[in-house]
Every structure is written in C-alpha cells, then in structure tokens.
Chains A and B, each alone.
Chain A
Amino acid sequence: MRVLLVEDSPRLRKSVTTALKSSGYAVDSEKDGEEGLWQAQNHEYDVVILDIMLPGLDGLQILEKLRKEGNEAPILFLTAKDTIEDRVHGLRSGADDYLVKPFALEELLARVETLSRRKYQKRTSKIQVGDLELDSAAKTVQRAGQSIDLAAREFSLLEYLMLRKGQVVSRTQIEEHIYDDMASPMSNVVDSAICALRKHILVDKESVPLIHTRRGQGYVMESRQ
C-alpha cells in the first residue's frame, strides 16, 4: 500500500512516516502543498494524508484539484483545525476522513488501513485466497492453520496481491503501491520480493502455489485447485 503524507511539520512528518513504513506502507512525504499535489497527480496512492494548513497550496485546495481531475484516492485530513465547521467543510469538500491533531498514532494507522481497504471494496480486515488467510488489522497471515511471519513490506505485497485476487497485477503497479520513491524503478526488487513471498507462503509440501506469473503482464494471485 502506498501512502502520500503532506505535512509541513518536519518532526510530525518524520514520526508518521516512520510509523507508516513500519506498518508496511510505502510512504512518500512532502512538506508543502504544491509538491504534495504534484506527487498525488503523478502517482497512484492508496491513501493520501493531507494537512490543511500548508505552505503553497493548502490541503483543501489540493483536495479540490484532485477531485476535479477525477482522482479518487482516499484522502484523510490530518490537521489542527478542530471545529465542527472545519470538519464538516473538509468532509463535504470530498475528504474521506478527518483526524485532529494531536492524534493517537494507532488511530491514524487504523484509519489509513480502513481507507486503503475501502478502495478495494473490502469491509472486513480478513482476506482469503485458497487456504491462505490474511488479517490486515492484526497483521497476521495463516495458511492451513500455520502462522506465517512476514516482513512489513512482504506483508504489504501479499495484502496487495490478495486484495486484487484473480486480477493481473503488473510490476509497475506493485512498485507504485509497495515501494516509495526511494526504490529504483530499474531494479528487480519486485521480482525478488515475489520470489521471497512465494517461499514464505509455502508452509509444507502440500501447499499449492497461489502466486502465478503471467509472462509479460505481471502476477495473478488465485487458488487453482
């Protein structure tokens, strides 16, 4: 899952980025509105976290421009503006969620997770493909009753593939959603990650492969039994 954070407070930006990355999200962070808008226009984010009071363009202006362009990325306002009028105005402007500073980090992560799930029309935190079950809230993966330990990014990759089960997911899409701008587009980081993930989800000899390669197209996750 890829998240854009636009926040002018460097310390807050750093903390939230750390928390999101530690939770398996790919995070791009910007300190001013214009940079934030450019990022949102040029990448497909699963969630955009916007401060309202930003240098350059404010959060509401960014939201307005994105919605006008047809960008439907879930947007969460993270702001110190706490009045009812501010919240109502923000939500009515097209934001999907509104969180007032200071906030609990767990709550922010939960809301980001909910927003990212909503994008894929999932109401529960549990996703199942064959005998593989992933709980995005508990951050757990089980197969045939066995628990599988995954790194945050591997978990995120698996979650992304499971959310799009039956669909071909290209390498570019995976890069877009799992890796931030720090990842080199020329590297084979996606292939390596897929390879590693395949190994992790084979819990025994009877485990059937769930991640399939479509040559020249990408990967499909499905149970072919």
Chain B
Amino acid sequence: MKSIRQRLLVWLLPGLLILWGAAGTALYFSVKKGLETKFDSELRELVNPVRFLLWARYSGDERPQVPGNFRGLDVHAFERPDSGTYFQSWDKRKRIEKSESLGQIDLDRWPSLTEQAKFQNLTLPNGDIVRAIGMEVRPPPGFRRGGGRFGPGPGPPRGDRDGDRREWFGREFGGPRGPERTVGGPDREERGRPDRGRERPEWDRGMEPRGADGRPRGGYGRPDEIDVVVARSRTEIDQTLTMLLGGITFSGLIAILASVVLVRIALGQGLAPLEKVGEQARRIDASSLQTRFPSDMPDELRPIAEALNGLLARIEDSFERERRFSSDIAHELRTPVAELKSMAEVAIKWPEQADAENYEEVRDISDQMQALIENLLMLARLEKGKAQVQLSEVKIGDLVKSCWQPFAEKAKARSLVIEFDLNSDQTWKTDDKLLRVIVSNLLSNAAEYAPEKSRLICTGRDQQLTLANPAGDLTKDDLSPMFERLWRQDKSRTDSSHSGLGLALARSCADAMEMKLDAEITRENQLQFSLTRT
C-alpha cells in the first residue's frame, strides 16, 4: 500500500470500529449486569413477603399483618395473573403452594436448593420469560404448629398428592374464601376473585387450627424446610436492554460514520504539511536547486526537510560543478577552435600568407584537442568506475625516470633541477598505465609551474611516492580545488598545453588503483604530492 492516508485509514477505521464495538458491548453488558443485579436484589426482596406469608399460612394466620419493611413491595402482585410475579413452594411433604398469578401452570421444582439463593432465567408455559430465585427457607424460631401467628399449628397435612397443591396464598392474601382467611382488610374481601367460594380440601379443613372463637384458623403447623421459587417477568428489563442495545447500535453507527469523517478530516489536516513538502519538491527542478524547505514544519517532518535540504545543497553543488565543468570545457575548446578557424580563414582569403608552419600549428592544435578529449574520456571512465585495472610488477624508479624524460628539456629551460631518491629495484604491484598517468601529470605540472631555478625532489618508498617543489604563490586554499577538473591557479591562462585536467585525472587514477593522492604545503613552503598505497 503506497498511500500513508490509506494505510492510516486501514488501521484507524477498523481500530475505531473495534473500539466502538468493545465500548458498546462493555456498556451493554455492564448495564445488563447492573439491571440483573438490581433485579435479583428485588427478587431476593420478594422472597421475604413470600416467606412471611408462607409462615402465616402454615401457622394458620388468616390475616397476616404485612410488616413495614414489605411496604415498598407490591405483594399483591402475586394475586394478579398479568402481574408477571410468581412464586411456588414445596415442602418436604410435597405440599405445594403457589401464587394465584401462576394460574394453572406450575414452576419446576429446582433440585438441591439450599438457603443460598440461586437464580435462573426461565420461560414459562404461558410464554412469559422470567427470572427466578430459588432457595430453601426455614421457619422462624418462634413458629408453632397451629399456634396462630407463629403459634402451634395443626401439623402438616398428610399425603403428597397433587391434591395437596393449594393456592391458598392467593385466595387468602389476594381474595378471601372467607373473611377469616383474608389478609389485607375488608377492601381485599370485596375484590372479585375467580376462585372465590372454592371448597378447601378435606385434609385442610381437618388440620387447620382453630382460633379462640372456635372457628378454624387454617395452617399446617410447623413445616420443615420449604423450597421456594419466586419468579418475576423479565419483560421490563429485557425491553430496557433491547432499547439500550438499539441505542448503542445506533450511536455506534453514528460514531463510526462520524469517525470516518473525522479521521479523513484529521488525516487531511495532519498530512497537509507532508503534501506541502511534496508539492514543493515537485516544483524543484534543475533551475531551482537553490530552493530550500522551510524550517517551520511539524516536528515529524523537520528531519525529512533538513535531510532534503542537505540533499538539495549537495545536488546544487554537484550541478554547479557540472555546469562549471561544462562551461570550462566549452571555454577550453573555444580557443583552439578559434585558432583553427581563423587560421583556415586567413589561408582561404590570403593564400599567399599560408605556409608549412600553419599546417604544423594546425596539427599541434589537433593533437592538443585530441589529448583533451582523451583525458576527458579517461576521466569519465574512471569516475564511472569502468576503467580496468591491470596489475603487474612495476619498477618504480624506472617508471618515474621514463615519465620525466618528456619534461626534462622544459625543466632545463626553466633552470629546474630534479633529484630522484628512488630504489631502482623497488617494485609495486600496480597498473603500469594508470601509474604513468599519475606520475606524468605530477612531473608535467612541476616542470610547468614550479618557480624557475627551483629544485624538484622525487622520493620513492615502499608504500609512498612523493614529489616536492617550492610552492611559489600557491596557498593552502588552493590545495583542495586543484584536484577539481579544469582548475588553474591563473585563470587567465588560456594556453592549451595544460588544460587543468591533469590532477583530477591523476586522483581518479589513484582512486581506481585504491591509492591515495594528496597535496600539502609543508612548513618549508614546499608543495608536496604524495601517492600512497592503501
């Protein structure tokens, strides 16, 4: 993927999607957990009135007083078929009590209930989805069989038949079969109940304790542990959770869409400086290499801008050198071409002026131009690394002296004296041709430019060959540029015997042979060239 924008989008958008999904899921489940915890807590609270009423029933209390701490609970909900609040109990004698709201349906008895509450989600046969609490409840310490309210009761009825199933709670608490079994006051008695007037089973009537007035009080007497399952419809909580899920999903989609837009805007803003750099870079061409990127960039781009500025500076320098070189080459060629042209035109226009000397001059000019071209080609080959180095054992002493021969006459004319400190048996394994180019150029320069009547000293050692002569008016500032192509100390000299390529060529030859060619001005003001084997 080539685009940073696309790459960031690919990472950011799924990342945000996952983040939003995880956040929504976490929110949903934490709310769900909170609601269920609260629901469970309310369910647990519902067990208390059920237990109370159960004990009231078991003790035969016809009109149990609902304690104050039950006031907040809708205990009458057990009576209403559509209340979504249910309970059912089982004692060890398999007597079953259940709320009227259950109607004809039964809750399943949960196995192995203890006093530790258990919770389950159930689906009732009527389709109601409920959450239920199941636990074992025990009678309070003061409970007596048939003893009235928490008094002694008539004892539990015998037999574990289906007929033992009694819906007394609903009748007693929600709708009285008789005034004595009504809990909740006369107003409760007036409420119509579907099972009003139902005959209580025989066993029930026989077992129920009687009050002071001799009227039967009902109740089984002290029960053993009773398994109770209290259930409450989840409809409200499920609706809440469904709405929450919808809300989270909707806001999640909105958030994702907003994220896409915001991420694109943020990326656009964030990448704008990068695009600006790209635009600036696109505008830079060979004619505008002096352009530099501004330094007031974001921290992340500043190193890139600095690196690009450095690169531009190097390219500009390189271009400038090439331009100068091209200009210098053109200049180098202009003079010999002008010489040839003017000589030819004179010979054409005034033939009587032409003589053999003119032709010799034409030949000399041609030779010099050829030498210039060959030097340029050799330099180009060396700089491209295309020169082939052919190693052989070369006697340094012989090579240096043979290279000096062409310049000896000129040196003599300028009263130069050369001293060789060379071992005639010393050999270097090197390229004879390239080494000759180096030595010839150094000696040629010395013969041409060393101050008149000066002494040249050429020294050969195992690893180094040096040539020293008085520096004259050369300064240390000249040492570095003198290896540039077409460099001349005296720019005004246009004689074509020295084009200014010699030292550049010599250094390229040295580089090709992995040697080092340096120049220095010694304390004795000697210009010393050193060719060192590496």
Contacts and interface: CB of A to CB of B under 8 A. Distances in A.
Question: Do A and B bind?
Answer: yes
Interface of A: 8-9, 11-12, 15-16, 18-19, 22, 33, 51, 53-56, 58, 80-83, 100-106
B338 interface: yes
Contact of B330 (A15, A18, A56, A82): A82
Contacts, number: 80
Contacts of A16: 342
11 contacts: A8-B492, A11-B339, A12-B339, A19-B346, A53-B491, A53-B494, A80-B334, A82-B334, A100-B334, A105-B346, A105-B349
Contacts of B365: 11
Given A12-B342, A15-B343, A80 B494 contact: yes
B338 A22 contact: no
A97 B472 CA distance: 38
B495 A102 contact: no
B191 interface: no
A22 B494 contact: no
B493 A55 contact: yes
Contacts of B496: 9
Contacts of B350: 18-19, 22
The list of the 9 closest CB pairs from A to B, nearest first, reads: A15-B342, A102-B338, A101-B338, A80-B334, A105-B345, A11-B339, A102-B337, A53-B492, A101-B334
Interface string B328-366: 001100110111111101100110010000000100010
B473 interface: no
B490 interface: yes
Contact of B338 (A19, A56, A83, A103): A103
B339 A9 contact: yes
B337 A101 contact: yes
Contact of A55 (B330, B335, B341, B490): B490
Given A101-B337, A103-B338, A8 B493 contact: yes
Given A8-B492, A53-B494, A82-B330, A18 B339 contact: no
B497 to A, nearest CB: 11
Contacts of A33: 492
B342 A80 contact: no
Contact of B334 (A15, A54, A102): A102
Interface of B: 327, 330-331, 334-335, 337-343, 345-346, 349-350, 353, 361, 365, 490-496
A151 B7 CA distance: 89
A102 to B, nearest CB: 4
Given A8-B495, A9-B495, A22-B353, A105 B331 contact: no
A134 B341 CA distance: 30
A22 B342 CA distance: 13
A12 B338 contact: yes
Given A19-B350, A82-B330, A102-B342, 17 more contacts: A9-B494, A9-B495, A11-B339, A12-B339, A12-B342, A15-B345, A16-B342, A18-B346, A19-B349, A22-B350, A33-B492, A80-B494, A83-B327, A101-B338, A102-B341, A104-B341, A105-B342
A155 B419 CA distance: 60
Contacts of A54: 492
B345 A80 contact: no
Contacts of B341: 102-105
Given A55-B490, A102-B341, A80 B346 contact: no
B339 to A, nearest CB: 4
B411 to A, nearest CB: 21
Contacts of B492: 8, 33, 53-56, 58
B490 A11 contact: no
B494 A8 contact: yes
A53 B331 CA distance: 11
A52 B342 CA distance: 18
Nearest to A101: B338
Contacts of B343: 11, 15
A19 B496 CA distance: 22
A16 B337 CA distance: 14
A19 B331 contact: no
A104 B342 CA distance: 7
Nearest to A53: B492
